[in-house]
Amino acid sequence: MKAESENFLLADFNQYHEWMRHYDKSFSSMISFLYTGYAAVITASFALYSKYPDKFEANLGVGLLLAFASCLSPVFIYWLMKKRKYFSDTARWVNKIRNTYLINKPLGIDAPAVSLQNENYPPYFHFASTHVILLLFTALSSSVIFCLTVYAAIRAIKIAYCTPIGLALYYAPLIILVVFWHICLLDCKTFKGIGSKLNEQFENNMLEC
């Protein structure tokens, strides 16, 4: 029975370790795809502005491109947060199995690192995490895209109705700051909410046992 349990844990460890790599790679792939899209949208917008700076149709097209990117950004940020959650969950289970094995110091091997045995590591949200840094940078990039969308819309209105555009440039940094701050708050609240719900579920399961 003990041998069967050990074989099961070994198979589970290998499987979860592969899943951990999968979520890490899929996170990186999604980031690459997102920023490739950002680069394509910005390049197309710059090309339209350079060739037809005073054409209403060109400014409208730029606004629609940027608006499309702005609408997709929250979706990608949500997906990236889910990938981070799945990565953390699988990494925690891998650490738990590793801790169960290394706690008896097999062959005299001590713990390789405290974090590699901590079943609560990695946290969902931590500023030192590469995933979280990329998430925050994505939030900043999406805020810039949103600001450019507002600017393009006001520029198109200016061309169509000959209205001033100075205020759009003046308030652009403020728009970026506000949107970025709200996305960061959403990230923090989402990750903290996930952690609180999981802890509550764990405590309820312990009480039932």
Q: What is the DSSP letter of 165?
A: -
Ramachandran angles phi, psi of 116, nearest 5°? -80, -10
The pLDDT score that the predictor gives to residue 201 is 47
Full pLDDT tens readout for the chain, 209 residues: 566 666 777 777 778 778 888 888 999 999 999 999 999 999 998 898 888 878 888 888 888 999 899 888 888 888 888 888 888 888 888 888 777 776 666 555 565 555 556 666 777 777 788 888 888 888 888 888 888 888 888 888 777 776 665 555 556 656 666 777 666 666 666 665 555 554 444 334 433 43
Task: Report how far residue 45's alpha carbon sits from residue 133's, in angstroms, rounded to the nearest whole number.
Answer: 27
Q: Please give the pLDDT value at position 40.
A: 92
- Contact (CB, 8 A) for 66 and 45: yes
**Residue of 53, 119, 55, 63 lying closest to 91 (CA atoms):** 119
Query: How much is the pLDDT for 199?
Result: 46
Q: How far is CA 182 from CA 37, 52, 137, in A?
A: 23, 34, 13
DSSP string, 77-130: HHHHHHHHHHHHHHHHHHHHHHHHHHTT-GGG---S-STTT-TT-S-SS-TT-H
Residue 203: per-residue pLDDT: 37
Which residues does 73 contact at the CB level (< 8 Å), separation at least 6?
34, 138, 141, 142, 145, 146
Distance, in Å, from the CA atom of 173 to the CA atom of 171, rounded to the nearest integer, reads 6
**Which residues 6+ apart lie within 8 Å of 121 measured at CB?**
91, 92, 95, 115
Max Cα–Cα distance, the chain, nearest Å = 82
Give pTM, 2 decimals.
Answer: 0.73
**Which position has the token pair 């440039």?**
169
The pLDDT of residue 92 is 85
Q: How far is CA 57 from the centre of its chain?
A: 34
